[in-house]
Amino acid sequence: MLPGSIPSPDPAWSQIALGPLTVHTYALCLLAAIAAATVFTQRRLRSRGAQGDVTLDVVIWAVPCGIVVARIYHVLTHLGDYTGPDSDPWEWLRIWEGGIAIFGSILGGALGVYIGCRLTGLRFWSFADAVAPALLLGQAIGRLGNYVNQELFGSPTTLPWGLEVSPDAPMFPDGMAAGTLFHPLFLYEMLWNLLGIAVLLGLERASARRTAARIGTGLRVGAGLRWGRLFALYLVWYGLGRSWLEALRIDPTSNAPLGVPVNLWTAVGAVLLGVAIFVVQGRRHPEPETSVYVPGREPDEDSPSEPAPQAAGTA
């Protein structure tokens, strides 16, 4: 280990053998990310009046759609790895070998959320606002899988927190000298995402206070940055972060239209889309949001959100 550098994890950490079953550490990181984001979103929705475990009813659609589109996005942006005379068509489906993209998961997840919200009666934008900071939390946790796999690193650096990468790692650049240190992009993004959670929650609370003061009521009614505007700020924050991260990233297999990596194009697009959503939704809905449910789809007020405790001696 070089003084002041971040050591690479042992390649054996990338998977765990349980008899005939092999569990990939990256998959465990993704499961932990999904679980943390789900719990965080559920707490936020419940505080806004949602009843029951409605988040799970949406997540069961969002997660599969997110994974499928994330894989499609990765394959389309790395066609050189999956095409050619020696390519194996089945490799397109072997997602357990790695290869999913967060931007693709956002697109697919949005489709799944739309389907789930249609079935549960939740407003799409209400769920999007609730999940926005939770997405940053999940993405931060998921980046630990990139660290274990020795991937998602940037250009060489002499900074004391440079990342060591084994020359045998699949993503180690050809022709690069062993012992070269790289920018730890996984760590940069984790810190950027965690900072983003604080920024989003701070802006949301400040907006809630202004809204409450204007309409003379408590924080729960119209708690600021609703109607998709908090999710719009998430897109802006994450897109800005990925823009400068992609400028540092080493990913020679990614398609680069006009010499610009496709992920950088997508990051800029996320920023522009976020700005557009914030402006349009702000003009369409200047009024406070008083319910996370579509009108007419509210649950029965007489139905408790949690099972009522039984009296002593009753079955």
Instruction: State the average pLDDT over residues 147-167.
Output: 87
Note whether residue 5 is domain-resident. no
Note whether residue 63 is domain-resident. yes
Using 50, 70 and 90 to split pLDDT, how confident is the model at 81?
low
Residue 221: its pLDDT value, please? 42
What would the pLDDT profile of 232-272 be if each residue is shown by its tens digit?
999 999 999 999 898 888 765 555 666 677 788 889 999 99
Using 50, 70 and 90 to split pLDDT, how confident is the model at 298?
confident
What would the pLDDT profile of 2-16 be if each residue is shown by its tens digit?
456 888 887 777 777
Q: Judge whether residue 87 has pLDDT over 60.
A: yes
Note whether residue 296 is domain-resident. no
Among 107, 134, 165, smallest CA distance to 41 is for 134
Note whether residue 21 is domain-resident. yes
For 222-244, the three-class secondary structure string (H helix, E strand, C coil) is CCCCCCCHHHHHHHHHHHHHHHH
d(Cα 197, Cα 40) in Å, to the nearest integer? 11
- Output the furthest CA–CA distance in the chain (Å, rounded): 75
CA angle 241, 178, 149 (to 5 degrees): 50
Residue 187 belongs to domain spanning:
11-166+180-214+225-284
Note whether residue 219 is domain-resident. no
Using 50, 70 and 90 to split pLDDT, how confident is the model at 315?
very low
What would the pLDDT profile of 197-230 be if each residue is shown by its tens digit?
999 999 998 887 776 666 655 544 445 688 999 9
Note whether residue 295 is domain-resident. no
Report the domain count for the chain. 1
Q: What residues contact residue 157 under an 8 Å CB cut-off, 6+ apart?
A: 181, 182, 183
Using 50, 70 and 90 to split pLDDT, how confident is the model at 1?
very low
Using 50, 70 and 90 to split pLDDT, how confident is the model at 90?
low
Note whether residue 3 is domain-resident. no
Note whether residue 290 is domain-resident. no
